[in-house]
Amino acid sequence: MSDPVYLEVCVDSVASAIAAEQGGAHRLELCSNLAEGGVTPSAGLIAMVRKRVAIELRVLIRPRTGDFCYSQDEFDVMSRDVLLAKQLGANGVALGILDSDGRADTSRTRELVKLAEPLQITFHRALDMARDLNDALEAVLETGCDRILTSGAAQTAERGIDTIARLVKSAANRIQIVAAGGIREHNVRKIVEKTGVCEIHAALQSPIPSPMSFRNENTTMSTVQGSEYQRFVVLAETVAKLIETAGQGSRVTSR
């Protein structure tokens, strides 16, 4: 029997959060606008997800899409959102800040970590956009974050598998390295075995049709015609299957 694998599922709706928990997910990362990489969810969404699920909930703190170098106003927004997430019952937050030279912004990150106490903090995939991953790892260690989310600076965790393995070795149990990026049933065992991670992060979105019988084909609210009539959600069976494949059905207790 393989060692159990701890699964964090990224969700952007109440329905997906409930399904992820039903499927056996151990932790949620809640965001909005997942199609664009995710931004901070609304207070209403945080409150409703916290009301409907019992598993650990981390809230993404990201004021906008794009890079991770933020203005003072954007940093102030992040600070307020950290406090709001704590107030609404989140167990932790996920955030990441780089300076203009592509290095982890330790000073600002440390401020947010202090503000979030006693919540746990994930430094998210902003790390993958850093100038040097090993330097960024050591910098994040100074901030008090408890986890780092990474694809190994590649498009997917499978492509960055060797780099993730090196980060796990360099971390030397000083911080938890969480593999992320395109993790699905077909590649999860390979990623876990070759990197040595014991935690993975996955979106696991599946397309479902809109319940609307009326379709307005003359206009669209997005860049893709007709995309209003398809949504992407997490399905409980997809989560359960990933957990089974990753750890042969084993589970771990909440951390």
Per-residue pLDDT of the chain (255 residues; tens, 9 = 90+): 456 899 999 999 999 999 999 999 999 999 999 988 999 999 999 999 999 999 999 999 999 999 999 999 999 999 999 999 999 999 999 999 999 999 999 999 999 999 999 999 999 999 999 999 999 999 999 999 999 999 999 999 999 999 999 999 999 999 999 999 999 999 999 999 999 999 999 999 999 988 888 888 887 776 555 577 888 999 999 999 999 999 753 333 333
Is residue 114 in some structural domain?
Answer: yes
pLDDT score recorded for residue 249: 37
Q: What is the DSSP letter of 108?
A: H
pLDDT score recorded for residue 77: 98
Q: Write the CATH number for 44.
A: 3.20.20.380
Is residue 253 in some structural domain?
Answer: no
Q: Is there a contact between 40 and 61 (Cβ–Cβ < 8 Å)?
A: yes
Is residue 92 in some structural domain?
Answer: yes
Is residue 199 in some structural domain?
Answer: yes
- Beta-carbon contacts of residue 241 (< 8 Å; ≥ 6 apart): 185
pLDDT score recorded for residue 218: 81
Q: What is the DSSP letter of 227?
A: G
pLDDT score recorded for residue 1: 43
Q: Where are the alpha helices (DSSP H) in 58-195?
A: 72-87, 106-116, 133-141, 161-171, 188-195
Is residue 163 in some structural domain?
Answer: yes
Is residue 1 in some structural domain?
Answer: no
Is residue 58 in some structural domain?
Answer: yes
- Beta-carbon contacts of residue 157 (< 8 Å; ≥ 6 apart): 151, 164, 179, 180, 181, 182, 183, 187, 191, 195, 200
pLDDT score recorded for residue 222: 66
Question: How many folded domains does the chain comprise?
Answer: 1
Is residue 129 in some structural domain?
Answer: yes
- Beta-carbon contacts of residue 166 (< 8 Å; ≥ 6 apart): 134
pLDDT score recorded for residue 74: 98
Residue 243's nearest CA partner among 18, 1, 24 is: 24
pLDDT score recorded for residue 255: 37
- Give the residue numbers spanning the domain of 20: 6-209+228-247
